[in-house]
Amino acid sequence: MKRLQDFTVGDTFVLVREVDPYRPIYYAAASGDFNPIHIDANVGRAAGYQGVILQGMCTFSWLADACGAYFGDPGRVRRVRARFTRPVQVGDVIRFEGRCTAVEGRAVRVEVAATNQRGEEVLKGATAEASVEET
Amino acid sequence: MPIDRKHLGRRYGPFVFEAGLERIRDFVAAVGGGVPGRVFAAPPSDPHPSTWDPAAARASRHGGLVAPPAFAAAFAIQPFAVACSDPELGLDVLRLVHGEQEFEWLGLIRPGDVLETTGEITRIADRGNLDFLEVTTTTRNQRDQVVVRGVWTAIIRN
């Protein structure tokens, strides 16, 4: 497993996730979020979207997974935050590009850009922090 | 219409959730590009071994499977969800979007943990034609340790 000295400011990491037609339903089953806006295309259209939209927390989970993979262990993840700026819809391909911004003591901080296949940001201000144990 | 600030400090919960092994595995599958469930199930594409592979997890420093951090979304959301549909607040859920999210993890979540989440309205604001509702949640495990704090912000477009 990665050690504290293996983290360097400027490190980069990438995670790509595709929103297949069933993903909002699978996420609903796993998370318990059955808001019809994520299940029923008619409800999604009534709310002004092209169809169903993905749960924001699924996008957030991908963000946390991307950061956790870089940090090397899910137990190291201390904080993750993000603003949801654009709906994620079926057919979208979301690319998370992270960069290490600080290594201070045992804390490692990153910022992440999350964009869809048109290059539009779906998250803003996405950051995460890990606490790396002493070895 | 702006949300009445008298609701600041309004509390929700406690909500109890048992973090069963299958729930954690279903979450890892659903988020990882797989299929949750027992029928037509498919594994996630690249899970962290500590969240998916029992043998690898046992051999890890955790000594067994742990939930991925984002699994908190499956239980800590409850006070926020209830606040958003609270008739006392009267929010229009069709105009409501999840605007912002923050988690702080203070401990691991393992299969079998019993998690109790409470929430409190910590901010009510308006800017232009937008209303903001912030709910802060605290989740404790069966040993009364705080394992995760969440700050959930809804935006209502008027």
A105-125 pLDDT, tens digit each: 999 999 999 999 999 999 999
Q: What dihedral angle (degrees, nearest 10) is formed by the CA atoms of A64, A65, A70, A73?
A: 100
Q: What is the ipTM of this complex?
A: 0.96
Q: Is residue A48 part of a domain?
A: no
- Which of the two residues, A133 and B71, has the higher pLDDT score? B71
3-state SS assignment for residue B26: helix
CA distance B9 to chain A (A): 23
pLDDT score for A24: 98
Q: Is residue B38 part of a domain?
A: no
Count of domains for chain A:
1
Query: If you ran DSSP here, which 8-state letter would residue A53 be given?
Result: B
Choose the closest CB to A26 out of B35, B48, B105. B35
> CA separation (Å) from A23 to A20, A102, B81?
5, 34, 21
Name chain B contacts of A77, Cβ cutoff 8 Å: 69, 105
Q: Which residues of chain B fall below pLDDT 50? A: none
- Per-residue model confidence as pLDDT tens digits over A18-33: 999 999 999 999 999 9
pLDDT score for B94: 81
pLDDT score for A101: 98
Q: Is residue B73 part of a domain?
A: yes
Listed residue (B17, B146, B103) closest to A64, CA to CA? B103
pLDDT score for B93: 84
Residue A1 pLDDT greater than 90, yes or no: no
Radius of gyration in angstroms for the set of CA atoms belonging to chain B, rounded to a whole number = 18
Listed residue (A59, A68, A66) closest to A24, CA to CA? A59
Give the domain range for residue B91: 5-20+66-157
pLDDT score for B35: 98
- C-alpha of B96 from chain center: 18
CB pairs under 8 A between A and B: 111
Q: Is A4 on the interface with B (CB under 8 A)?
A: no
Tell me whether residues B51 and A74 touch, CB distance under 8 A.
yes
pLDDT score for A55: 97
Q: Is residue B56 part of a domain?
A: no
Which residues lie across from B135 on neighbouring strands? B121, B152
Tell me whether residues B26 and A29 touch, CB distance under 8 A.
yes
pLDDT score for B118: 98
Q: pTM higher than 0.90, yes or no?
A: yes
pLDDT score for B2: 87
Beta-carbon contacts of B80 under 8 Å, excluding residues fewer than 6 positions away, are B119, B135, B137, B150, B152, B154
Name chain A contacts of B97, Cβ cutoff 8 Å: 56, 84, 87
Q: Is residue B86 part of a domain?
A: yes
- The encoded tokens of residue B49 equal 């071994």
Give the domain range for residue A63: 4-20+57-131
User: Residue A47: pLDDT band by 50, 70, 90 thresholds?
Assistant: confident
What CATH number is associated with residue B83? 3.10.129.10
Q: Is residue B36 part of a domain?
A: no
Count of domains for chain B:
1
Strand order in the sheet with B113-127: A12-18, A93-104, A107-115, A121-131, A77-84, B96-105, B146-157, B130-140, B113-127, B11-19
Which residues lie across from B150 on neighbouring strands? B103, B137
CA dist A4 and B144 (Å) reads 30
CA distance B99 to chain A (A): 5
